[in-house]
């Protein structure tokens, strides 16, 4: 089945599977009553299977690759810090790809090094500089977050070291004139409108309140989502990284009688925010982007997470049987957000090494002209480092797990 047909099928399945309930449900002021709003009885069934491109490039290649023992790829990004799990998901995907490559290619044992940024723009410049100074490193997967990507892009550019981010989605990152930065998923100019349409169409939200954090990611995505909502947007507010008490923002949401809240940020703040929101009597839906879509959100939000939906320009890797099986064998857990994007990004670089592109200049040129299927999507970048026509998926919390519900915004 071709990619276009697959996406059409997924979108149709999600739409046909939607069951609209008849009773209204919205946020109510503390001690007050509910008012008009979207339906909490909407049930969008989980997606249970997905087709992948039949000609997807895999890390093992043909098993005939030869390379120097110093040939190295690196992961640069969060391994520790408040939102570390999103980076760990990527690192595990990269590790799996390299393991599979090396097992199949005895004459090309690619080395793998990792550099922890803690996901902090102020701390990322040191690890990036260290990575760029190691001559054996000819390609990088990362950085996961938009803020740290913005802070370090010029460092990569100065030494012409190619890097593919499986996660950083701020649209402005590809407007800096960098020739070494490539984005392995759709940006927030795609995700924002898709999220808006998801809330107003599939979730039937009439009044949406947007709350954004102070990160590059949160600010950019909040703006594109707000624009897509139009008259359905009833209010906006801002919070800060590390904030613990959200009572002031919650009061504004309750007074606005919003039936959906979109939180533009990461799970470290999004989870306690949702928990406090529900504890104050909010009965609407809580929607977050890829920065929230992780099991850590459920762990930290507890029972409040039952009201949560997510959007992500990432494919549900757990529905690709071969990848799910191998990833779980390596890590002991299911693939997470960006796991398969990290795997695919590493595969692009490994395929270049196998084709003889074994210095920084040649590997950079390889990525610039790449035009092949991966497991998650087709990889072909424009001159700014953006992919063409990326798909955004919807997810929901069901029985304590995050499950996919199909393509959205189409």
pLDDT tens-digit series, residues 266-293: 999 999 999 999 999 999 999 999 999 9
Q: Same domain for 260 and 400?
A: yes
Q: Same domain for 78 and 224?
A: no
Q: Same domain for 117 and 262?
A: no
Please, how many CA atoms are within 13 Å of residue 268, restricted to the half-sphere of its CB? 17
Q: What is the pTM of this model?
A: 0.87
* Lookup result for tokens 């390596």: 330
- Does residue 56 belong to any structural domain of this protein? no
Q: Same domain for 262 and 402?
A: yes
- Does residue 27 belong to any structural domain of this protein? no
Q: Same domain for 222 and 288?
A: yes
Q: Same domain for 212 and 290?
A: yes
Measured CA to CA, the distance from residue 345 to residue 73 in angstroms comes to 11
Measured CA to CA, the distance from residue 35 to residue 256 in angstroms comes to 11
- Does residue 7 belong to any structural domain of this protein? no
Q: Are strands 392-398 and 378-379 parallel, antiparallel or unpaired?
A: unpaired
- Does residue 12 belong to any structural domain of this protein? no
Q: Same domain for 404 and 297?
A: yes
Q: Are strands 163-165 and 181-183 parallel, antiparallel or unpaired?
A: parallel
| Structure confidence at residue 410 (pLDDT) | 65
Q: Same domain for 399 and 347?
A: no
Contact 359, 366 (CB under 8 A): no
| Structure confidence at residue 50 (pLDDT) | 86
- Does residue 103 belong to any structural domain of this protein? yes
Q: Which domain holds residue 171?
A: 72-187+317-379
| Structure confidence at residue 27 (pLDDT) | 35
Query: How crowded is residue 128: how many other Cβ atoms within 10 Å of its Cβ?
Result: 28
* Positions in the chain short of pLDDT 50: 1-39
Give the burial class of 334: count Cβ atoms within 10 A of its Cβ; 0-12 exposed, 13-18 middle, 19 or more buried: middle
| Structure confidence at residue 228 (pLDDT) | 97
Phi/psi at 68 (5° precision) = -70, 150
Measured CA to CA, the distance from residue 390 to residue 372 in angstroms comes to 14
Q: Same domain for 281 and 400?
A: yes
Token output for 341: 């994007």
DSSP structure class, residue 187: -
99: domain CATH number is 3.40.50.2300
Measured CA to CA, the distance from residue 252 to residue 258 in angstroms comes to 9
Q: Same domain for 336 and 399?
A: no
Overall domain count for the chain: 2
Q: Same domain for 170 and 231?
A: no
Phi/psi at 89 (5° precision) = -55, -40
| Structure confidence at residue 32 (pLDDT) | 31
Q: Same domain for 181 and 329?
A: yes
- Does residue 62 belong to any structural domain of this protein? no
- Does residue 221 belong to any structural domain of this protein? yes
The DSSP H or E segment spanning 349 is helix 339-354
- Does residue 243 belong to any structural domain of this protein? yes
């Amino acid at each position: 089945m071709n990619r276009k047909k697959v996406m059409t099928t997924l979108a149709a399945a999600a739409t046909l599977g939607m069951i609209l309930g008849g009773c209204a449900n919205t946020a109510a002021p503390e001690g007050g009553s509910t008012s008009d709003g979207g339906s909490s009885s909407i049930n969008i069934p989980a997606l249970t299977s997905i087709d992948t491109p039949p000609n997807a490039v895999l890390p093992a290649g043909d098993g005939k690759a030869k390379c120097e023992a110093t040939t190295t790829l690196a992961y640069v990004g969060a391994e520790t810090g408040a939102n570390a799990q999103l980076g760990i998901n990527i690192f595990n995907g990269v590790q799996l790809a390299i393991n599979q490559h090396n097992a199949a290619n005895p004459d090309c044992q690619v080395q793998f090094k990792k550099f922890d940024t803690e996901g902090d723009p102020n701390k990322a410049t040191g690890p990036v500089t260290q990575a760029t100074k190691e001559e054996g490193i000819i390609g990088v997967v990362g950085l996961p977050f938009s803020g740290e990507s913005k802070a370090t892009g010029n460092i990569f550019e100065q030494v012409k070291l190619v890097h593919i981010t499986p996660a950083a989605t701020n649209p402005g990152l590809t407007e800096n004139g960098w020739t070494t930065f490539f984005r392995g998923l759709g940006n927030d100019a795609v995700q924002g409108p898709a999220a808006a349409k998801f809330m107003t169409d599939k979730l039937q939200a009439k009044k949406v309140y947007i709350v954004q954090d102070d990160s590059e990611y949160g600010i950019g995505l909040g703006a594109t989502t707000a624009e897509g909502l139009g008259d359905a947007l009833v209010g906006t507010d801002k919070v800060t990284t590390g904030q613990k008490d959200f009572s002031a923002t919650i009061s504004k949401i309750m007074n606005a009688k919003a039936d959906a809240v979109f939180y533009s940020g990461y799970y470290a703040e999004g989870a306690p925010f949702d928990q406090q929101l529900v504890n104050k009597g909010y009965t609407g839906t809580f929607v977050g982007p890829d920065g929230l879509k992780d099991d850590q959100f459920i762990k930290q939000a507890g029972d409040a997470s039952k009201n949560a939906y997510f959007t992500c320009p990432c494919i549900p890797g757990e529905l690709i049987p071969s990848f799910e099986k191998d990833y779980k064998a390596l890590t002991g857990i299911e693939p997470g957000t960006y796991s398969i994007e990290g795997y695919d990004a590493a595969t692009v670089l490994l395929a270049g090494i196998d084709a003889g592109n074994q210095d920084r200049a040649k590997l950079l040129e390889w990525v610039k002209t790449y035009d092949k299927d991966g497991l998650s999507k087709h990889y072909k970048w424009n001159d700014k480092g953006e992919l063409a026509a990326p798909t955004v998926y919807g997810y929901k919390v069901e029985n304590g797990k995050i499950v996919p519900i199909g393509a959205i915004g189409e």
